[in-house]
Copies of this chain bind each other. A is one copy, B any other.
Amino acid sequence: MCRWLAYSGSPLTLHQLIYEPEHSLIDQSLHARLGPHTTNGDGFGVGWYPETGAPVLYRSRQPIWNDRNLRELSPHVRSGLFFAHIRASTGAPVQETNCHPFRHGKWLWMHNGQITGFPLVKREMIVAIDPSLYPSIEGSTDTEVFFFLALSFGLEHDPPAAIERAVGFIERACGERGIPDPVRMSVAVGDGEGVWAFRYSSSGVPPSLFYSTKTETLRAQYPSNMLMQALSDETRLVVSEPLGELEGVWNEVPPSSYGMVGRGQDEIRPFAPRAT
């Protein structure tokens, strides 16, 4: 289990995003509230989109709360589109190549949850990955293999459909091996323009997922909060757990659904695995 946040909207600094909130990602790395792990100290990663070109990654295997370089750089990294993730390993080694977000071309991907029995189905997933994509896999996590499976199923053309196919594939492969409750996930994926966020579990309650309320509502509700006054109407945060207690800010994404932010639309739709 891990914690993550995705930000899309008015440009701000990485420092404003991950250090300044009340219950920031730094605080969550030491004291997460929602989920089975209170400590998320098995590495971390941040990805952002510069003005032009591919997203930039900064990943480390040490706990985020101890990274002095990140703290130094963060006031100078400015973007309108960030992915940030703190890891609590469910088994794969703690190394940079296992830190989220993962990147392929202009796409970023990160995940909280797990594929149960991953060692048993990894080979079948690997074989289903497009051979031209396969050499780009660097680490050993379920998350990265899941990402490349979704890419092989058309992520770059239709993210929700590709992920529905990938989850359908995994559930079928696990089902054939008698593995119960195979997929638990909150996933964020983006291409530099939009961010899609998914919440799903094969059975039971999926990992927590929240998105921030429309900033126009917030501006009316909190007229003296300077940060909110400055953010554009379309600015959105999607998070594993709320960054503070401010009332009216955070809305839970329902189970088995997904949303997309960043391209003017703002809608929650149903998510259902598809057979392949």
Whether A160 sits at the interface, judged by CB under 8 Å, is: no
CB <8 Å contact, A122 and B135: yes
Taking CB atoms and an 8 Å cut-off, the chain A residues in 131-161 that contact chain B are 131, 134-135, 137-140
CB <8 Å contact, B66 and A94: yes
Knowing A95-B95, A123-B134, A138-B93, the reply to whether A42 touches B30 (Cβ < 8 A) is: no
Knowing A30-B38, A123-B131, the reply to whether A62 touches B62 (Cβ < 8 A) is: yes
Interface centre among A31, A89, A97 (most CB of B within 10 A): A97
Knowing A93-B96, A93-B97, A140-B138, the reply to whether A58 touches B39 (Cβ < 8 A) is: no
Among listed A2-10, A69-77, A238-246, A250-258, interface-contacting one: A69-77
CB <8 Å contact, A58 and B41: no
- A48 → chain B, closest Cβ, in Å? 9
Chain A 86-119 per-residue mask, 1 if CB under 8 angstroms from chain B, else 0: 0001000111110000000000000000000001
Give the distance in Å from the alpha carbon of A65 to the alpha carbon of B123 in the complex: 28
Residues in B neighbouring A60, C-beta threshold 8 A: 69
Residue of B nearest to A45 (CB): B69
Whether A249 sits at the interface, judged by CB under 8 Å, is: no
- How many copies of the polypeptide does the oligomer hold? 4
Give the distance in Å from the alpha carbon of A95 to the alpha carbon of B140 in the complex: 12
Residues in B neighbouring A228, C-beta threshold 8 A: none
Whether A57 sits at the interface, judged by CB under 8 Å, is: yes
Residues in B neighbouring A122, C-beta threshold 8 A: 134-135
CB <8 Å contact, A42 and B66: yes
Residue of B nearest to A42 (CB): B66
Residue of B nearest to A31 (CB): B38
Give the distance in Å from the alpha carbon of A95 to the alpha carbon of B93 in the complex: 10
Whether A126 sits at the interface, judged by CB under 8 Å, is: yes
Whether A50 sits at the interface, judged by CB under 8 Å, is: yes
Knowing A39-B39, A126-B126, the reply to whether A96 touches B120 (Cβ < 8 A) is: no
Whether A263 sits at the interface, judged by CB under 8 Å, is: no
Whether A127 sits at the interface, judged by CB under 8 Å, is: yes
Which 10 residue pairs of A and B lie closest in terms of their CB atoms, listed nearest first?
Answer: A119-B135, A95-B95, A41-B41, A66-B94, A39-B39, A123-B134, A58-B69, A30-B39, A93-B97, A56-B72
**Can you identify 6 A-B contacts, CB atoms within 8 angstroms?**
A30-B39, A57-B72, A59-B69, A63-B63, A66-B89, A139-B140
Add 20 more A-B contacts to A38-B39, A95-B95 (CB < 8 A): A30-B39, A31-B38, A31-B39, A38-B38, A39-B39, A50-B76, A57-B69, A57-B72, A58-B69, A60-B69, A61-B62, A62-B62, A63-B63, A68-B93, A93-B95, A93-B97, A119-B135, A122-B134, A123-B126, A123-B131
